A and B are shown apart, each in its own frame.
Chain A
Amino acid sequence: MGAGHAHPLYVHEHSAVHSLAPEAKLAAALAFVLAVAVTPREAVWAFAVDAAALAAVVRLARLPARFVLARLAIVAPFVVFALLIPFVASGDRVEVLGLGLSRAGLWATWNIVAKATLGATTSIVLAGTTEVPRILHGLTRLGVPQPLTMIATFMIRYLELIADQLRRMRTAMIARGYDPRWLWQARPIAAGAGALFVRSYERGERVHAAMLSRGYTGAMPILDERTATAGQWLAAAGPPVIAATAAVAALVTAA
């Protein structure tokens, strides 16, 4: 175990959040994000409640704040886009620092920034506390059809391998004087992608043979039998219940 052995988003720690059964974590994360998504944007206090609940989970998971904030950079493009809205949206204007901004646009910005940040943080906590195999186990146990989880399993396993192959092919091309700068020079890359596809296909055949050799009969065996206990479901339900309550309260008071 230890750093560098799992996916880059995973933080190796021992915490209550880490040890929670993956299906409970997945369901809780999904419910939490849904509750946040339906919260009316004017209910600023409700987002504060959501943020507090999430912060508590981050603390409990012993995820370093810096780690979470650094990973949050992923929402930056959305934020930039959202920041443009008040300038271009129509409707009545408010004066902010001498700029006339659209009131509806400001709310739209807030809506996007708040929800994107909360949603992204939720995924960061999920990924930071759950290794990929366990996420896949969780999906299986939540009733996601096996072909889908199997495709995800193999994609995750072989994606890096295929990316490696692509890099090697590019290096081999460059080593022989190929220097692609313009679109019309892309032909070798396209041919390379074709070769990569064939290789991946043949790999698929060999992997299938390897699976058959170890008794594969068409159904993936169940490998992780530790299903979520009632207590775990209850614990996992905490944050989404808080968020849902806040959302409902906000909806009711807004009506």
Chain B
Amino acid sequence: MTHPAVEVCGLRFAYPDGHEALRGVDLRVEHGQRVALLGPNGAGKTTLALHLNGVHTPDAGSVAIGALAVDETNLPEIRRRVGLVFQDADDQLFMPSVRDDVAFGPANLGLGGHELRARITEALGAVGAADLGDRVPHHLSGGERRRVTLATVLAMRPEVLVCDEPTSQLDPAGRRELVAVLRGLAITQVVITHDLPFALELCERAVIISDGRVVADAATPDLLADERLLGAHRLALPYGFDPRVARKGTAP
């Protein structure tokens, strides 16, 4: 039998302070699919993302990437397969230069020399940041920072890309560039976002997480057209935005 790209079953997790952030999450993402994870603040989206590459260990349930279960013994391979882009770029860019930061992942995979340099060039090129290698992360603009964080993860050639609120802190042009970059990547993508038009533009499927559970899972246009559903989970489309009309304009 073939395995989906991501398979989460009955996942439960409580933080050490006892707060139960995930209360039984089931999620299956097919290869090459782009899925938007929507939901109010504190729903557990980030917590779920941190389970996909084993930063957190489930209290109950299981997570698998392809045929590989996320557990202690598989962690190095899981972390190569799943690229996680963090919500706050300053958490992700911890090295003193962009180049060093992009090199960090592949170097941990054991790459060096010519191969490592080729990876850096490839990753920076893929996000249109080829000329940012020698910059200091602190001095990058919001959009540059976002693209560079993406490069740090792409440098590991992941099979699944997980982005946590990638459009926060982006201006409209930066947001448009990001959509273009993500659309150009032929890998499975799980995108956490509060930006519903962005979800519609990028992802064919959307999942709503609320209070640690999956409460809706449908094609993005259908899901966004259901006003009652959105309202029930503190989601709202921008004023005057009609997903059915917008969809026609942006079809890939």
Contacts and interface: CB of A to CB of B under 8 A. Distances in A.
Contact of A210 (B86, B103, B107, B109): B86
Contacts, number: 96
B94 A154 contact: yes
Contact of A5 (B108, B136, B156): B136
B153 interface: yes
Nearest to B108: A215
B66 interface: no
Given A133-B95, A209-B50, A215-B76, A222 B112 contact: yes
Interface residues of B, number: 39
A217 interface: yes
A223 B55 CA distance: 24
A138 to B, nearest CB: 13
A209 B134 contact: no
Contacts of A221: 103-104, 107-108
Contact of A206 (B79, B91, B96, B105): B91
B96 A133 contact: yes
A213 B53 contact: yes
B104 A223 contact: yes
Nearest to A160: B138
Interface string A142-162: 000000000001101110110
A181 B180 CA distance: 52
Contact of B105 (A131, A158, A215): A215
A189 interface: no
B244 interface: no
A217 B108 contact: yes
Contacts of B92: 210
A114 B22 CA distance: 66
Contact of B94 (A131, A207, A217): A207
Contacts of B82: 213
A203 interface: yes
Contact of B80 (A5, A160, A215, A216): A215
A99 B55 CA distance: 73
Contact of B137 (A136, A157, A203): A157
B113 interface: yes
A128 to B, nearest CB: 16
B168 interface: no
Interface string B139-172: 1000000000000110010000000000000000
Interface in A211-227: 211-217, 221-223, 225
A223 B134 contact: no
Nearest to B112: A225
B91 A157 contact: no
Contacts of A223: 99-100, 103-104, 107, 116
Contacts of A154: 94
A1 B139 contact: no
B104 A214 contact: yes
B88 interface: yes
Contacts of A214: 79, 104-105, 108, 152-153, 156
Interface in B59-73: none
Contacts of B100: 133, 223
B84 interface: yes
Nearest to B133: A1
B138 A4 contact: no
Closest 6 CB pairs of A and B: A221-B107, A215-B108, A214-B105, A206-B91, A213-B84, A133-B97
Interface of B: 50, 53, 55, 76, 79-80, 82-84, 86, 88, 90-97, 99-100, 103-105, 107-109, 112-113, 116, 134-139, 152-153, 156
Interface of A: 1, 4-7, 131-133, 136, 153-154, 156-158, 160-161, 203, 206-207, 209-217, 221-223, 225
Given A203-B90, A217-B76, A221-B104, 11 more contacts: A133-B95, A157-B95, A157-B138, A206-B91, A209-B91, A210-B94, A214-B105, A215-B108, A215-B109, A223-B107, A225-B113
6 contacts: A131-B134, A161-B90, A212-B79, A213-B83, A221-B104, A225-B113
